[in-house]
Amino acid sequence: MTLRETRIGDGRLLVPVFLLIATTIYLIDAIQLAPPIQNGVLTASFFPVVISTIMYVALLCVLWDIARVPKEAAGSSTEKVDQPLGPLWITLLTGAYIFTFSTIGYFLPTFFYVFLMTILFGKGLEGLLFKAAASLIITAAGFLLFGLAFQVRLPTLWSM
């Protein structure tokens, strides 16, 4: 594998590259607001321009560190990874939950969300009856806590 290929496959680049793009969009939007100093007065774009500059410098330092130190020697997160796609499934499931929470209401989406979460966090499809019972209890407990104890009006079907 060439050095270029190694670097492209280096997961450590994900965060700095994403932030480089985000900072550039941020800076462009800031400059479009107004010049940083106008008639001797600091405008709304002054601070964003300053912090964008700081961000670029910091990102360059991180990219330099990544270029200097191979991935194998870097010693990244010490967390063991058994399920690399676990976070992706949780994110998609949570997104779906938020969407159905807003359209269908609290009870059904929460029950199915909790049920599917117990499958993702637990040992897959083992003990489905227990997971279903736990989901029911957690959904009910959530309603008791928010709906009754704290008097929060949770969404229901056709209420929004």
Nearer to another protein (CB atom), residue 5 or residue 82: 82
Exposed / middle / buried, residue 106 (Cβ in 10 Å: 0-12, 13-18, 19+):
buried
Nearer to another protein (CB atom), residue 65 or residue 67: 65
Nearer to another protein (CB atom), residue 4 or residue 76: 76
Least distance to another protein, CB of residue 108, Å: 13
Least distance to another protein, CB of residue 101, Å: 7
Nearest to 133 by CA among 154, 118, 122: 118
Nearer to another protein (CB atom), residue 3 or residue 75: 75
Least distance to another protein, CB of residue 21, Å: 13
Distances (CA, A) of 88 to 77, 92, 154: 18, 6, 27
At a CB cut-off of 8 Å and minimum separation 6, what does 147 contact? 106, 153, 154
Least distance to another protein, CB of residue 20, Å: 11
